[in-house]
Structures are given as structure tokens and as C-alpha cells.
Structure 1
Amino acid sequence: MSQYSHLSEPDPELPGSIPRIGGPGPLTEDMIPAMRQALDVPLNQRLDVYKTRLPSDSAYKLEDHTVAVEGGEIIVRTVSPILAGGENGPLPVLVYFHGGGWAFGGLDTNDFDLRILSVELRLVIINVDYRLAPEHHFPTGLNDCYAALKWTVENARKIGGSTEKGFLVCGASSGANLAAAVAHRSLKDPFFENHKVTGQILQIPALVHPAAYPPEYASELLSYEQNKNAPILSKELMDFLYRLSPLLTDPTGLPPSYLQICGLDPLRDEGLLYKRLLREQGVLTKLDIYPGVPHGFHAILPGMRAAKKWEEDLRQGIKWVFNSSV
């Protein structure tokens, strides 16, 4: 039994019935369009919640930019706070990669909450609309995200930001996977020699395919089976979606890292192990755990006390990363 098994005990506030993404029977690529359509329902409900909290249009500047990538173009959406009287710019930057199993989501997934976060924390946010599987196979999405990271370095000043003030990567689920992957990749790239990524924010990260679990960590990676039938995200769906494995890459030299982990999540233990491996290599880490709630609960059930704590913890986690990288 995993030392973290107790984290799977359901939160008393958790509804008795929460649907899993997908459906009965094996998942196949031809189901993707219907699954995307089904996911629009909770997305729109989530947008309705955040819409009531949006700052005034005069508080920020919203722009879509075209970024050239191999084989085409992608869009990045920037949110730049309007400087208040006496406030000095440029501002720190945060590059955001949405979640959705590498196959779902887009600019709208976190559009409203990123606007709120940008204005509240006074940072320029770059929201990346990377190309999705299965239409675009790996490593297309990863390469798109890396191109967006480079675009940020080249254009930060134009959008009111400065990588010298702070240069974070952030994502949830598969987006956290992409954030971790580009942070690793940038370490040895001369392009980033004078523009180091200064922090990573990894929310419910997907970090390694279970087929590639290192044997020496097998006793610590039990949540994939323990929570295989968890609501929202199941083992079956993850088997269908998994692609990248940042957990297997040497973490030496990575910047301060903040992680948010759900207890009732198949991905729980790999996130906890990643945090330990980072710390063992001297990387500053901060971790918040949410016992008894499933993967992505904060998006589906924003009214839960744990979801409100998640939001506040994220803000404090970002501040911690900035302060730790100074």
C-alpha cells in the first residue's frame, strides 16, 4: 500500500456522482470530436463563474499574436495589465499551457481566470494555443510550446513584460507536462543563456507513462492503480492520452518549482515523487496537496472549499516562486 493511500479518501464535500471523461468501452480516436463537444459543457459553466469576476476592460490589454512554428502557425494570447499610477514596468512574464490530455482545450479553457490572475498578480501572461493530438502527433504540441517560449523572449518588451523580472512556465495536467518539458529543454539551449526560466508552476502534472515507471520507484507509484476508477480522470483515459515523460529527465539546474497535487488522482504519486527528486537535486520546491478530490476538481466543482483554497494557493505559490528566484 502506498504511504499516500489515505489521500484517496473522498472529501466530504465531493458529490456522490461525478462523471468520468470518456464513456463505456475502449476509447478510440474517432471519439475525440464527441468528447471535445461534451467537454464544452463544463467549460462554459466554468467561464460563467469567472465572467462575474473579470476585471474592467480598462485594467488590462488583451491581444492575439501569430507565432510561426514548424509546418504552420499558432496563436498566443497575451494579457498585459495596464500600469497603475506610480507602478513601474515592465512586469514579470508567465507562459501558460492549458490542460486537456494533449487532445482537448484551447485559448478559451483558462481565458477568464488568466485575465483575473494577470491583473491581481501584476504579471504578463502568454496563453499558448498549441496544436492538439490526434490531428498533430507528438512532438508537434511540445515543439509549439517551445516556439512560444522563444517568442516570449523575443517579444516580452513589446507586450509590457521582461524575462529579467521573472520568467515562469505554468500549466495544469498535460499543460503541466508541457511546462515541465520545455523547462527541461531550455536548460541546455544557448538561446536561453541570458533568459533563464526562473520558475515552474505544475498543477496536477502528468509526468511519466506508467509503462516507463523506473523499477526503483515502483513502491512509490501506486496511485495510478489505486485511483484507476476515479471520477473525471480514470486510468483508462490516461492510458489513451499519455505522451511525455519529464520525470525521467535529470532535474539538475531546474528553477524553483511549485506543485499542486490532488489526492484522488491517478497522477498523484508521480507528482509527489517528482517533487522529492527535485528537492534531492537541490531545486527549491513548494507543494500543496488536496486530499480526497479528483484530478481537475477545481474546474468542475469551483464551489467546493477545496477549490477556493486551490485558487488562493496558486496565487501564493506564484508569489513564492517569484520570491525564491530573486
Structure 2
Amino acid sequence: MAQYTHLSTPDPEIPPIPKYPGVLSKDAVPAMRKLFTTPLERRLAMYEGRLPDESSYQVQDHTVKVEDGEITVRVVTPVPTANEGAEFEFPVMVYFHGGGWVVGGLHQKDFDLRIISVEMRLITVNVDYRLAPEYPFPIPVNDSYAALKWTVENAQTIHASPSKGLIVCGASAGANLAAVVAHRSLKDPFFSQHEGRKVTGQILQIPVLLHPQGYPAEYAGELLSYEQNRDAPILPRELMDLFWECYAAPPTSPDLAPLLADRTGLKFPSVHFQICGLDPLRDEGLLYERLLREERVKTKLDIYPGAPHGFSSMFPATTAGKKWDADWREGIRWLLAGKGMPN
């Protein structure tokens, strides 16, 4: 829609971002993965003074069996305070990293999740799903779903109580996975027939919700950002097209495009959206939020005008970056306060 055009005006506080150095093709994937992997020493320097004391939380990696292999999940558990008691059980948030299903891993938000766990008093489960093109669609989806189910099955072991809150959260391609597994869980008796196992909230940050070849005709006038922001920083259309090529998913599959999935008769948990204005994916996020709201799903929407996709990781000290961080925490509070379930 025309009223979204102003959201593409660049935020003057965010400095120019150079384009990816090289030809964007499958051959470039190894170099891209190296570029997107921040060495531990640099990450420690970036988070100096921000990480909570190591005595305030525990980190443990677990192996989850998946089809034809295994993946790792990293569980961060707050150390209970005296008021909470040694046997205290925490709500839990399962997190899926971004990176176009092609790059990224546990390191990506590792430190942020440690901070979130201690500050928000919840367990975080960071999912290291397998990556395309070596593991194309639907493998990342199935890995992510296995990790969600593992979290519930092992809740007591990790001192989690899904009945206090079971949130799925992700950024970009990770938000796609979060939305897809949340939808899938609504039709799975393992989750749907047990009150203490239901997903109670979703946090979708700069989500991928549609394939450009699968845009519904009735919404064509609302899905303009993929072209309008084709040359945007960080995630230009050319890079997103490469991710689509690597992921190799059918454009209209509901396990790819949650916006197209049948929601008839399903009671969706509440959703917190964080949408960037200067992002090719902007309009699909805004459309999904509107459709869910019209279906009486509780939604919370935060928009960052002029901010490119994934800016908050590169420029956390900007006004918009600080707002993003605060909004994420407020979204968690909002979901946990009502456990996210519809009336």
C-alpha cells in the first residue's frame, strides 16, 4: 500500500552499509558463512560489561535426534534466586536464528539469549538447525519442530514449565521457522491435546512469510516492499533470491509460507511482530499481522522506520537499536503476562 512508502526513507542515524563483496551465488556460501561468523574474542569485546555474571546462569548443550542425524540445542537456565527456590521452574523461549536458512548458528544470538534469560527469568533454547543448501527444505523446518518437541519432552530436566509460557521466537528465516512450527503444533495432538504443552506466544522479528512467486493475487497491492526495497542494505533482493535458491522450497507450501497456511478453526497464540521499514520483507510482515488481528488473534506490532533488515545486530547503540532491544523485552513480558492465549 502507498502509505508504507515513507517507511523506506533511511534512518539518518544508521550509517551507510557496504554491499556484500562478491558475486552472490551458491559458490559464495562458504565465504558468506565465514563473514557472518563473529569470532569469540570480538563478541566478548562487543558485550563487555553487558553479560550477566556467570554465577547467575547455567549453559548446557544438548543433542537432539532428528531425521537422518542430530542437531544441538543450547539451553540457558537462570540460577534460581532465594525467593524463587532451588526447584523453581521457569517459562521457556525456543529461539531460531536468522540467516536465510543458509548462514548463522548458535553463536549468532548466544550472548543476547544469556542476557535475556537472566533479565527476563526464563529459559532459552537456542536451536542449531541444519542449513541449506546442504540441507534444503523441509529439513530446517523438521529440525526446528523436533527441537520444540524436545523442549517440551525434557521440560522437567531443564527446569522449564511450558504451562508458565512456551514462546517461539526467531529473526528473519528463524522467524519463518518459529511461525511454521507454531502453526504445525496447533494440529499436532502432542501439543494441542495437552494444556501444559501448547505454544503460548510467538515473537516474529523481521519475518519471512511468503515466497515472491507465491504472492496471493488478492494482496498484490499490499506486497510492494520486495521490489520497492530491492536495493536495501544488508538484505537486498539479490541476496534474498539466493537464499530462496538455496532453500529450494515449493513457493506455496504452508511449511514455507505461514501466511498461506490454513488457519480455519485454529486458536493461534498471540504474536509480537518487529518489522523494519527499509526491508524487502516488510510488507508480508505487516500483512500477516493485519490478517491475524482481523481473525481476533492478539498482536503487538513494533515498526522501525528507515531501518534495514537486521540492523539491530550491527547498530545496537542507535536510537532504533535501543528501541528494538527494549521492545523485544516488552514483547516477552506481554506474552508471559497473558500466556499469549486467545480468549
Alignment partners' CA distance in 1, 2:44 and 2:189: 39
In structure 1, the residue corresponding to 2:47 is in which secondary structure? helix
- The residue that corresponds to 1:201 in the other structure is 203
- The residue that corresponds to 1:321 in the other structure is 335
- The residue that corresponds to 1:61 in the other structure is 58
- The residue that corresponds to 2:33 in the other structure is 36
Alignment partners' CA distance in 1, 2:149 and 2:274: 26
Taking structure 2 as the reference length, the TM-score comes to 0.91
Matched, 1:221 2:223: yes
Q: Is the 8 A contact 1:202 1:260 kept in 2?
A: yes
Matched, 1:241 2:243: yes
Paired residues for 1:53-132 under 5 Å: 53-87=50-84, 89-132=88-131
Deviations 1:290-309 (A, max 9, x none): 00110000011122111011
How far 1:43 moved relative to its partner?
A: 8.7
Matched, 1:285 2:284: no
In structure 2, the residue corresponding to 1:109 is in which secondary structure? coil
- The residue that corresponds to 1:146 in the other structure is 145
2:277 pairs with 263, 284, 308, which one?
Answer: 263
Segments of 5+ residues of structure 2 without an aligned counterpart are 250-255
Q: Is the 8 A contact 1:51 1:112 kept in 2?
A: no
**Residues 1:62 and 1:96: Cα distance change in structure 2 (over 3 Å):** same
How far 1:322 moved relative to its partner?
A: 1.3
How far 1:2 moved relative to its partner?
A: 2.6
One-letter amino acid of the counterpart of residue 4, structure 1: Y
Deviations 1:49-104 (A, max 9, x none): 22431111110110000100000110000000000011152110100000011011
- The residue that corresponds to 2:47 in the other structure is 50
How far 1:19 moved relative to its partner?
A: 2.1
How far 1:23 moved relative to its partner?
A: 4.1
1:250 pairs with 262, 271, 277, which one?
Answer: 262
Superposed CA RMSD in Å reads 1.5
In structure 2, the residue corresponding to 1:40 is in which secondary structure? coil
In structure 1, the residue corresponding to 2:81 is in which secondary structure? coil
**Residues 1:217 and 1:5: Cα distance change in structure 2 (over 3 Å):** same
One-letter amino acid of the counterpart of residue 248, structure 1: L
| Paired residue total | 323
Deviations 1:158-179 (A, max 9, x none): 1111111110000000000000
What is the identity percentage for the equivalent residue pairs of Structure 1 and Structure 2? 62
Matched, 1:182 2:194: no
Alignment partners' CA distance in 1, 2:223 and 2:135: 30
Deviations 1:241-260 (A, max 9, x none): 13421111134421010000
- The residue that corresponds to 1:2 in the other structure is 2
Q: Is the 8 A contact 1:76 1:128 kept in 2?
A: yes
How far 1:218 moved relative to its partner?
A: 0.5
In structure 2, the residue corresponding to 1:183 is in which secondary structure? helix
In structure 2, the residue corresponding to 1:318 is in which secondary structure? helix
Deviations 1:118-159 (A, max 9, x none): 000000110000000011111111100000001001101111
Alignment partners' CA distance in 2, 1:220 and 1:146: 30
One-letter amino acid of the counterpart of residue 12, structure 1: P
Deviations 1:177-216 (A, max 9, x none): 0000000111110111211100000000011011100010
**Residues 1:308 and 1:144: Cα distance change in structure 2 (over 3 Å):** same
